[in-house]
Chains A and B, each alone.
Chain A
Amino acid sequence: MQISFQHVSYIYNEGTPYEYQALNDVNLDIQEGKITAIIGQTGSGKSTLVQHLNALLLPKTGEIHILDRVIKASENPKQLKALRGDVGLVFQFPEYQLFEETVLKDVAFGPKNFNVSEKDAIKRAKEALQMVGIKEDSYEKSPLELSGGQKRRVAIAGILAMDPKVLVLDEPTAGLDPVGTKEMMQLFKKLNSDYNKTILIVTHDMEQVFKYCDNVVVMQDGSVKVHTSVDEFFRDAESCEELNILPPAVIRMKKMLNENGFHIEGEIKDITALAKAIAKEVKHG
C-alpha cells in the first residue's frame, strides 16, 4: 500500500502563452508509516506534486498509485472524492479556510462532507481537537477569535477529523514563532508514531527535516533530484550545498570544524553528539 508516482507530468495553462511545465516525468515511491520531507526551491514543483496526492490536480501523463487507488488523466474526478477523506491535505496558511460559526462546527465540517452522521462528526471533531491540543473551552468560540497558532491547529484538526491515513502538509510552520513551530512538529511526530499516519511535509526548514523526518525528497525544476533517508542526506554538508540547500547548524558546524583541523567522522544526529565528538578530540588530541 505504498504511494507511488509513475512517470507523472503536469503542465499549467496548457496551450496558452503562460504554459508552464511544473512536473516532468516524476517517479517516486513514498514509504508508508514514515515522515517524508519534500524540499526544494520555490517553483521546483513541491506544491504541484502534493496536490496530486488527493487528486486536486490530475496528471497530464503517468499515474499515481495511492491507497489501492489509481489517479490518472482519464480518471473521472467524481470517483476520487472518497480519496480526499483518506489523504488529508493541509494547505499553506490553512487558517484561511476556517469559516464556520464555532471551532467545533468547523472541524466537523470535513467529516460531514463525507456523509458521516452529525453525531459522529462531532465526536470525531472533539477527538481531532484533542489531538492538536485545543482545549474544550474554545470549542464554542468563533475560530476568528483565536490566536494565529491556535487557528492553524483548528484548521489541521479539520483535516484530522476526516481520519485520513495519509496526512500531507504544505509548509505547516510558515509564519509561526519558534515555540509554535516546535509544538507543531512534535504534533506531527506524535500523529506518526501514536496514530500510525503516513506524513508528507513540504518545508524549507532543514532543521525540521533533520530533527523530525525519516526520508527526504529533493525537487528541482519539476523532477525528483534526490530521494533518500534523512541520515544519509545530511551525512556531510557537501551534498546539500551542491543542491543549494543550507544544511542544519549541526552539520555546518561539523564541516567548519573539520575544515579547521578537526576529524569528526560518522553520523552526528544532534547537538549532544556533536559536543561529545568535539570533547573527544579536544581531550585526546
Chain B
Amino acid sequence: MEKNAIEVKNLCFEYEEGGKHIDDVSFCVKEGSYTTVIGHNGSGKSTIAKLIAGLLEKKSGEIYVDGIELNLDNLVKIRNVLGIVFQNPDNQFIGSTVEDDIAFGLENHCVKQEEMEGIILTHAEKVNMMKYLHHEPTHLSGGQKQRVAIAGILAMKPRIIIFDEATSMLDPQGKDEIKRVIRELHEKSNITILSITHDIEEVAMSDEVIVLNQGKLALQGEPHEVFYNEEALNAIKLDIPFSIKLKKALDKEGVSINNHITMEGMVKDLCKSHSNM
C-alpha cells in the first residue's frame, strides 16, 4: 500500500483578526510524489503550508507528516523530516555567506563540525552553487539565493520539502532555475514535494494537484483530470494551461483532438492528424 507523506484531516484555522481562514480541508499527499497546490491569493494556500510546517497553530483537525501527528511535542521530530522554502529569497537567507547559510540548519541539528564541510559541499554541488560558497547574499541573484535555501534544506536530509511560492518573486531565468532543481529532485530522489504555485505550466508537470478556493478544498486529482473539469475551474476563475485553451479553440473550429496538458504532446497529436489527411 502506498504511504502518505502528508495527511490533512478536517483542518480548520482562523487568524486572530478573523481574516483569512481554512475551512474543513482534508487531503493526502502520496509519498515520493510531486504535488502542487493552486488557488488565488487569499485562498489559504500559504496558510496551509505554514500549518503543515508547524509555524501556525491549527484551530481544529489533524495533520500527519511522515506518519507523525503534528502537535507541540512532536514538532522537533517533524522539523527533522520536513523542510520549507519560502517566497522571499532575501528574508530566508540567514548566514553571512552561502556556506554559512547551508551550515545554519546543520548547526541546529547538532551535526559534528568535522562532518559539516563535506555535507555543505555535496549540497552546494546539487544546486550548482559550488562557485559561490564564499559569496555574500547581496551579490547573488534571487534565483541563486533560492538555490542556496534549497541546499540548506537538502543538507538536513528531509523526506518532504514544501515550496511556498518559491518562484513567485524571481525573474524568468530564476524561475526556470528553481523549477529545474525541483524537477531534478523529484526524478533523482525519493523526496516528497509539495509546491504551492501560480505557475500553471509547473502544475502541468506535477503528479497531482490540489485546488483551494476561499479556504476550502475545491478539487484534487492528476493535472489532466483537474484541468478538464471545466465547470469547476470556471466557477473559481482559475487559469488553465495553454494547450487546453488551444484545444477549446480548436473544438470551436471543428478540429477535435485528444486532451493534452503539454504543448509538445499536442503538437505530436496535431501532426498526426495533419499527415493523415
**A contacts B directly in the complex (CB < 8 Å)?**
yes
Residues of A with Cβ closer than 8 Å to B? 41-42, 147-149, 174-180, 204, 246, 249-250, 252-253, 256-257, 260-262, 271-272, 274-276, 278-279, 281-285
Instruction: Check A178 against B169 for contact (C-beta < 8 Å).
Output: no
* Contact stretch, chosen from B25-33, B150-158, B248-256: B248-256
Contact for A174 among B41, B169, B253, CB less than 8 A: B169
Instruction: Check A253 against B249 for contact (C-beta < 8 Å).
Output: no
Instruction: Check B169 against A262 for contact (C-beta < 8 Å).
Output: no
Instruction: Check B253 against A281 for contact (C-beta < 8 Å).
Output: no
Contact for B253 among A147, A149, A249, A276, CB less than 8 A: A276
Contact for B274 among A177, A179, A253, A281, CB less than 8 A: A281
Instruction: Check B42 against A282 for contact (C-beta < 8 Å).
Output: no
* Contact stretch, chosen from B50-58, B95-103, B263-271: B263-271
A218 to B266, CA, bound (A): 31
Minimum CB–CB distance from B122 to chain A (whole Å) comes to: 29
Minimum CB–CB distance from B149 to chain A (whole Å) comes to: 18
Minimum CB–CB distance from B205 to chain A (whole Å) comes to: 15
Q: Which residues of B contact A283 (CB under 8 A)?
A: 254-255, 277
For chain B, residues 230 to 277, give those with C-beta under 8 angstroms from any C-beta of chain A. Answer: 237-239, 242, 245-246, 249-250, 252-255, 263-264, 266-268, 270-271, 273-275, 277
Counting chain B CB atoms within 10 Å of each CB, which of A179, A246, A275, A283 scores highest?
Answer: A275
Instruction: Check A249 against B263 for contact (C-beta < 8 Å).
Output: yes
Instruction: Check A249 against B242 for contact (C-beta < 8 Å).
Output: yes
Q: With A261-B275, A275-B252, A279-B250 known to touch, is A175 a contact of B270 (CB < 8 Å)?
A: no
Q: Which residues of B contact A281 (CB under 8 A)?
A: 274
A283 to B257, CA, bound (A): 13
Q: Does B224 contact A (CB under 8 A)?
A: no
Q: Does B79 contact A (CB under 8 A)?
A: no
14 contacts between A and B (CB under 8 A): A41-B171, A42-B174, A177-B41, A178-B238, A249-B242, A253-B242, A253-B246, A253-B263, A257-B270, A260-B267, A271-B249, A282-B273, A283-B254, A285-B277
Q: Does B189 contact A (CB under 8 A)?
A: no
Instruction: Check A180 against B41 for contact (C-beta < 8 Å).
Output: yes
Residues of B with Cβ closer than 8 Å to A? 40-42, 141-142, 168-169, 171-174, 198, 200, 237-239, 242, 245-246, 249-250, 252-255, 263-264, 266-268, 270-271, 273-275, 277
Judged by DSSP, the binding face of A is helix
Instruction: Check B171 against A42 for contact (C-beta < 8 Å).
Output: yes
Instruction: Check B41 against A282 for contact (C-beta < 8 Å).
Output: no
Q: With A41-B171, A148-B41, A178-B198 known to touch, is A278 a contact of B277 (CB < 8 Å)?
A: no
A249 to B200, CA, bound (A): 12
- Which of chain A's residues has its CB closest to B40's CB? A177
Q: Which residues of A contact B271 (CB under 8 A)?
A: 257, 260-262
A261 to B276, CA, bound (A): 12
Q: Which residues of B contact A149 (CB under 8 A)?
A: 41
Instruction: Check A279 against B171 for contact (C-beta < 8 Å).
Output: no
Instruction: Check A278 against B270 for contact (C-beta < 8 Å).
Output: yes
Minimum CB–CB distance from A202 to chain B (whole Å) comes to: 11
Contact for A275 among B141, B255, B264, CB less than 8 A: B255
- For the A-B complex with A250-B242, A260-B270 known, give 20 more contacts whose Cβ atoms are closer than 8 Å: A41-B171, A42-B171, A42-B173, A148-B41, A175-B169, A178-B200, A256-B263, A256-B267, A257-B271, A261-B274, A262-B271, A271-B242, A271-B246, A275-B246, A275-B252, A275-B253, A276-B253, A278-B270, A279-B253, A282-B270
Contact for A278 among B245, B255, B263, B268, CB less than 8 A: B255
